[in-house]
Chain A
Amino acid sequence: MSYIALAPTDVALAAGLVLASAALSLALQLGLARQYLVAAARMVVQLSLLALVLKVLFAAVSPLWTGLAALVMVLFAGREILARQERRMTGPWSYGLGTGAMLFAAALVTVFALTTQVQPQPWYHPRFALPLLGMVLGNTMTGVSLGLHTLTSGLVAERAAVEAQLALGVPRRQATLPVARAALRSALIPIINAMAATGLISLPGMMTGQILAGIAPEEAVKYQMMVTFLIAGATGLGAVLAVVAGVYRLTDRRHRLRLDRLRRD
């Protein structure tokens, strides 16, 4: 068993399926053909550029360029978190809080994995650092954005309940606890479900990729376990940070609920 390289024609053959689906959409007047083809084209362009960038980065093995690439990934993920918020915070907090929590959790977990488990030489080698960060970041982003979304919309919806406790002299942590709990639950449910389904209902992409590349299944499975733990750990850490910071930002030192720190739109 070894790695089987793909010729451009192989990729084109697979792309035929997308064209066929687009034709079907046209025939059935679903109005999806355009969106479908644009998305497919975007994927081709983005991945081709990514291949070029990674090739350069892998050749350079520079801490500066690797770090810069990681930063760009984090900043894009931060934008994605912001885009998923129905109620954003005012000022720099809108982007900063979610991005900060995600950056801290993802960076900590990725560096931890690189320096103690994977241990490439040097530890920041982009061939290991960037794929690991990418997998951790994607899931942490989902967790942080779900957590913040549930927290902010929950505080707005449960305002009377939270303020009823505050008015009775309950401290802000306790008064916001029901909403914070719901926020953390919604942040962590996707990764919990994913872990429970892994290997039974879903075959994780990373492990499948390693198997396709000719790695023995028992080796690929070990890698997958480690990566899943990293992802679950980073998601948990990022979501807790974002929700706790969110609670503190949306209350103040006098333990008032400060929904005026959410934008009204």
Chain B
Amino acid sequence: MSTTAAIQVAGLEKDFAGARVVAGVSFEVAAGEIYGLIGPNGAGKTTTFRILAGLLSPSGGTAHVDGVDVAAQPARAKARLGFSTGSAGLYGRLTAREQLEYFGALHGMPAAKLAARIDEVSASVDLTRLLGRRCEKLSTGEKQRVAIARALIHDPPVLILDEPTAGLDVLASRFLRDVVLAMRQAGKAILFSTHYLAEAELLCDRVGFLHRGRILREGKPEELKAAAESTTLEQAFLKMAGEAS
């Protein structure tokens, strides 16, 4: 296992009441790389992400974020990780600024540093003019931008984005993709999931096909397409998943 990878997942397992949801998942994501975890609902994507984010404890295997074992030192691992889900999950009765202030404070950021960081992050996701508005009044795309800004507030080296473009219109998802690419440029390791395989093809440096709790195959989108003799990633996935079941 390389020591430079920002995310290291090895033999990860998770059982829910006797049912094995994640069954020995292993992958690595390097700094400055976008890794796409692709699979149908119930494949185990969200569970894997939740284990990495310290929300669930693994039943077996290990997960490291920026070199820190998430099971052994959850607080240290969480400090190195930005986590955002497709449902945005914002406090509707707080303004965007209050939202960012709250999460910055939960990350232990001092007030002066926090104010500067809010300006910086809001500018990077085009949020500055929305900062004073209550989140319940924002559009879906605007909410998603606040959620990304929140995940970035403590400037983590690792970012997990669980279906960030779900339910967004063309312009908003385009904008979000640009943001993700900019973050890669900034050297962050990005773990990403989406149901739009064309989007994964556009965005991801490498892709892992997750099916029934196992990684069927991983590699660059071109490699996977070539291996399955398919023209699109979607066809490749369907073919490999069909062979596996």
Q: Tell whether A and B belong to one assembly.
A: no
Interface residues of B (CB under 8 A from A): none
